[in-house]
């Protein structure tokens, strides 16, 4: 039974993944199953073989100028190699207090546990495609970072850090995103994994900056099913996990307005991200990880 689950780990209800073992084993099973289900890989992989030409840009190394091409066209072109076509990707992972929550104990992971599995699977898939992968964990500030590297040994250490990362504090995504922007990678992919209980203006401003720098950006908006549809529990007290503020409500009277507010918030994120050509995906924590990996591949395919 366990072997069967490993073979289809990418399609399992996320809560079932706990039967497979720790974070590293789960991510390996998810990615192996996902790759096996693909007809072909969208990535050319890592190589130092010649791939294509590109136009010369000021500051480029003249050793790579193709002088024969210059003689035919009277223009400078550089030989671009496969290793240049690979990218540096950073997963910015929200580990704030609000992420350490689930609406019920049975059959659901916390948003943070789901997000860790997603981050571990994404970085493994990146590395297996020949790209460089790193992780930045944040709450009110950056709490941990792993540089973008492309070895499985690095991934193992990265996952170990993810496993030990605890939650706490409020959410401020802009610091982590600014840190990635400061690295200034020409071929970059930034993946924000968060419940987006953030300063929306600051976060959107930094996402826009990353796009203007030329990075592709992918946002996974992690949502517990209980956040999408307010449970009918009668009189209840709702507690903000980051501030401790409490509000007493009658859930039956609130459900319609709540549903409308959630839908509006998601639509607004989708609109803002779409205007910047940022891929945005609301992800319920009962959704199989394969669907997230498919969305990643769609974004990755645009980078060649």
Alpha carbon distance 82, 221 (integer Å): 33
Query: Which pair of structure tokens corresponds to residue 120?
Result: 């571990």
Mean pLDDT across the chain: 83
- How many residues appear in the chain? 304
Q: At what angle do helices 23-36 and 111-128 cross, to 10 degrees?
A: 50
- The three-point CA angle 29-30-36 to 5° equals 90
**CA–CA dist 58, 45 (Å, integer):** 28
pLDDT digits (tens, 9 = 90+) for 15-70: 888 778 899 999 999 998 888 877 444 443 333 344 455 676 666 666 666 667 66
The pLDDT of residue 11:
79
Q: Per-residue confidence at 301, pLDDT binned at 50, 70, 90?
A: confident
Query: With pLDDT > 90 as the criterion, what percentage of the chain qualifies?
Result: 54
pLDDT at 253: 62
Claim: this prediction has a pTM higher than 0.85: no
Q: What is the pLDDT of residue 15?
A: 84
Predicted confidence (pLDDT) at residue 115 exceeds the cutoff of 70: yes
Going by pLDDT thresholds of 50, 70 and 90, the confidence category of residue 302 is confident
What pLDDT was estimated at residue 168? 92
Using CA atoms, how far apart are residues 81 and 174, in angstroms rounded to an integer? 34
Q: Which domains does the chain have, with CATH numbers?
A: 50-83 (no CATH), 87-301 (3.40.50.410)
Quickly tell me which residue has 């350490």 as its tokens: 100
Give 3-state DSSP helix, strand, coil % of the chain, rounded to 5. 45, 20, 30
- Give tens-digit pLDDT for 244-294: 676 666 666 677 777 888 999 999 999 999 999 999 999 999 999 999 999
Distance CA 238, CA 84 (A): 51
- The pLDDT of residue 18 is 79
- Higher-confidence residue: 259 or 135? 135
Q: Which residues partner with 62 through β-bridges?
A: none
What pLDDT does 43 receive?
Answer: 43
User: For residue 50, what pLDDT is reported?
Assistant: 42
Higher pLDDT, 4 or 136: 136
Q: What are phi and psi of 105, to 5 degrees?
A: -75, -40
Cα–Cα distance, 95 to 47 (Å, whole number): 35
- Positive/negative CA dihedral, 31, 32, 38, 39: positive
pLDDT of residue 114: 97
Q: Residues 156-174: what's their mean pLDDT?
A: 94
pLDDT of residue 204: 96
Q: Give the percent of the chain with pLDDT over 70.
A: 74
Look at 165 and 302; give whichever has higher pLDDT: 165
**How confident is the model at residue 130, as a pLDDT?**
82
Question: Which pLDDT tens digit goes with each residue over 198-231?
Answer: 999 999 999 999 999 999 999 999 999 988 876 6
């Amino acid at each position: 039974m366990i072997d069967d689950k490993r073979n289809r780990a990418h399609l399992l209800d996320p809560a079932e993944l706990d039967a497979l073992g720790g974070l590293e084993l789960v991510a390996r099973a998810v990615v192996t199953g996902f790759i096996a289900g693909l007809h072909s890989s969208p990535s050319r992989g890592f190589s130092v073989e010649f791939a294509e030409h590109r136009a010369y840009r000021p500051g480029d190394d003249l050793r790579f100028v193709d002088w024969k091409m210059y003689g035919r066209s009277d223009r400078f072109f550089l030989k671009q190699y496969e290793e240049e076509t690979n990218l540096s990707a950073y997963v910015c992972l929200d580990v704030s207090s609000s992420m350490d929550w689930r609406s019920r104990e049975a059959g659901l992971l916390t948003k943070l546990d789901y997000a860790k599995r997603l981050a571990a699977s994404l970085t493994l898939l990146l590395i297996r495609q020949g790209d460089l992968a790193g992780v930045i964990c944040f709450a009110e500030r950056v709490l941990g970072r792993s540089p973008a590297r492309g070895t499985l040994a690095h991934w193992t250490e990265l996952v170990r850090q993810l496993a030990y990362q605890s939650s706490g504090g409020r959410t401020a995504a802009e610091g982590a995103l600014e840190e990635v922007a400061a690295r200034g990678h020409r071929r970059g992919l930034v993946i924000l994994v968060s419940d987006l209980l953030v300063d929306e203006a600051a976060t959107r401003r930094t996402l826009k900056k990353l796009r203007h720098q030329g990075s592709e950006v992918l946002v996974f908006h992690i949502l517990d099913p209980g956040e999408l549809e307010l449970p009918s529990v009668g009189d209840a007290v709702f507690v903000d996990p980051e501030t401790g503020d409490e509000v007493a409500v009658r859930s039956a009277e609130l459900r319609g307005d709540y549903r409308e507010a959630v839908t509006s918030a998601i639509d607004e994120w989708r609109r803002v991200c779409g205007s910047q050509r940022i891929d945005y995906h609301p992800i319920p924590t009962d959704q199989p990880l394969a669907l997230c990996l498919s969305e990643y591949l769609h974004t990755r395919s645009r980078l060649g």
